[in-house]
Structure 1
Amino acid sequence: MDVGELQAYCLAKPGAWADFPWEHEHPVIKVGPEGAGKIFAFLSATGVGVKGGATREVADEWLQRFPGDASVMRYIGRSGWNDLSFEGAIPDEELLDAVDDSYRLIVAKLPKKHRPEGWDTQGVA
């Protein structure tokens, strides 16, 4: 898995779009209308920041399972956000599952009028 593949995966989700709110090489991926969109993935060259769970306790499961490859995100980690590395022991499928979970958690918090059609079927087999 690399940042390009993960970016394409994120942007294939209903209502997803790339934004560059800060001067970084890679975008954040948001869902929802411009001006009201919310971030569900922070992309970097070596990993992705995702909402790891509804609570910090749930997000901490990633830290326990992958202690060298998952870490609490700076500044927003207390809200359940984790950084997950592409370069370590986390399987690609689990990275994609983490993005799916982050997407669903963020979209569920959007006002119903801002939720994209088909969002609730994403990642459901």
Structure 2
Amino acid sequence: MTDEQFIKYIQSLNPSASIEIKEGLMKIRMYNKKLIDELKEKYNYRCQICGESILGEDGVAVSEAHHLEQFSLTQNNNPDNIMILCPSHHRIIHKAKGLFNRREHVIEYNNGRIDSLTLNYHL
């Protein structure tokens, strides 16, 4: 698809948006945020895979907690189930369904790719 065709296609899509109010039950994750904040501090807000600290223009460090065993299924919020990641590696692990190999301390993906931990103080 050429750039011109792409622009034409995008412009042909319906741009309408709305806000819908729905009532019902909501599942809310409840965990000890202090534990996650302490782990982020321990790693100085750096990704355990790439070692990078992502600083926004406002000086805020952006790091995320990844539960190795799916929290919504296990409610396991123990430190040995949490990895501190940059937003990019967190998204990659979820999208590519990466699994943590505890013996080797690596993330393994279905396509054979392996990401090693560069920082590990607690796993």
Fold similarity call, TM over 0.5 = no
Specify which structure has the bigger relative contact order, considering alpha-carbon pairs within 8 angstroms and separated by 6 or more residues. Answer: 1
Larger Rg: 2
Using structure 1 for the length normalisation, give the TM-score: 0.29
Using structure 2 for the length normalisation, give the TM-score: 0.30
Larger helix proportion of the pair: 1
